[in-house]
Amino acid sequence: MIIRTRALKLLGLSLFFVVLCGSPAAGQPKVGVLASYSGDWGAYGVAYRHGIEMAEIGAKATFIYEDDGFLPAKSVSAFRKLLEVDKISAVLVGDTVTAQAIGPIAMKRKIPLLAWASGDRVFVNNPYGLRLWTSNERDFSFMADQLKKRGYKKLALFTSTHTYTAAWAEYLKERFSGTEWEDFSTNPDSFQTALVQAKAGGFDAVGVCLGAGLNGRFAKQMRALRIDLPLFGCNFIESSADIQAADGAFDGVWFTAPKISPDFVKSYTTRFGTSDHLVSAAIFHDAALLVTHTTEKPFAIPGLREVRDGGDPRLEFEYQVLRFKGTRIETGAD
């Protein structure tokens, strides 16, 4: 029964993309991959590419990578190039802002858009779109449950100005009375003032969901000030820039993310020598399988299923806690 249920789920996903992208027998499709491959967020694009390479699509599709720096203006120009010059039949994107920038064009041109996005505005009633992420409610409630399991009642939250980070903090602030939240609209060189205030505020734990590199800087400064409060974060802290900036200060820090198969983790760390961006790579590994109908191969994130309730087509999956041991990310932590 389990095998049959899984097969039906995969069949549903496969049929969805056959309708959108055409039959696999119709010729080798070209898939655009629009993301940042340079600058502060460049490691994300590299991880996306690593995940796609691990999917081993072979002759089923050609993937064409365009660097937009996660900047909307560049996203649009790069997408038009993929459409007009490369003649892509589908596109993968790695950020909510990118999806919002190109979403209307993709829908008008009937181009399948698969995006790692938390915001659902682009996808509502879009038959050609699929978010590669679950609902914020499901995502954040798992984090809240883990915080309650640890007995935390009053949190100090620090975020950057970003669609996902703001929603993350807003949800936790509603669930935990007495919680305080500071949103940094600019990238500070020092978090010392905010950290000193957090130390004196009677908080049970500190949560960070900042931009690339800032989470690590925050953790290092927090430890330098000898603030021993438990530290947790959103999945942004998996980035290379943050692990490098933390310089060991992430040891013991935890975050929540999709449950990734042990086989994928082992293959990824063996091949690339790092545990950075595990989630990023896993998401795009599975996106590559979906967009090319290669569903006979195992997903990096087991048990993926497509849902379309509320007109927001997206994926659903199980969550787990991941923890840093030194500079490496360990799965299976609780």
Residue 39 scores a pLDDT above 90: no
Instruction: Band the pLDDT of 10: cuts 50, 70, 90.
Output: very low
Residue 334 confidence (pLDDT): 64
Predicted TM-score (pTM) of this structure:
0.89
Residue 27 confidence (pLDDT): 65
Residue 304 confidence (pLDDT): 93
- Report which of residues 67 and 12 the model is more confident about: 67
CATH number of 138-256+321-333: 3.40.50.2300
Question: Tens digit of pLDDT for each residue in 256-286?
Answer: 999 999 999 999 999 999 999 999 999 999 9
Residue 26 confidence (pLDDT): 54
Q: What percent of the chain has pLDDT over 90?
A: 76
Residue 7 scores a pLDDT above 90: no
Residue 18 scores a pLDDT above 80: no
Residue 319 scores a pLDDT above 80: yes
Whether residue 86 contacts residue 103, with contact meaning beta carbons closer than 8 Å, is answered with no
Residue 333 confidence (pLDDT): 64
Question: Tens digit of pLDDT for each residue in 67-113?
Answer: 999 899 999 999 999 999 999 999 999 989 999 999 999 999 999 99
- Report which of residues 112 and 12 the model is more confident about: 112
Residue 168 scores a pLDDT above 70: yes
| Least reliable range by pLDDT among 9-18, 258-267, 299-308 | 9-18
Choose which CATH entry (3.40.1390.10, 3.40.640.10, 3.30.559.30, 3.40.50.2300) describes domain 2-135+260-319: 3.40.50.2300
Residue 107 confidence (pLDDT): 95
Indicate if 138-256+321-333 has the same CATH topology as 2-135+260-319. Answer: yes
Residue 309 confidence (pLDDT): 73
Domain ranges, ordered by start, for the chain: 2-135+260-319, 138-256+321-333
Instruction: Band the pLDDT of 162: cuts 50, 70, 90.
Output: confident
- Report which of residues 152 and 39 the model is more confident about: 152
How does the average pLDDT of the chain come out, rounded?
A: 90
Instruction: Band the pLDDT of 120: cuts 50, 70, 90.
Output: confident
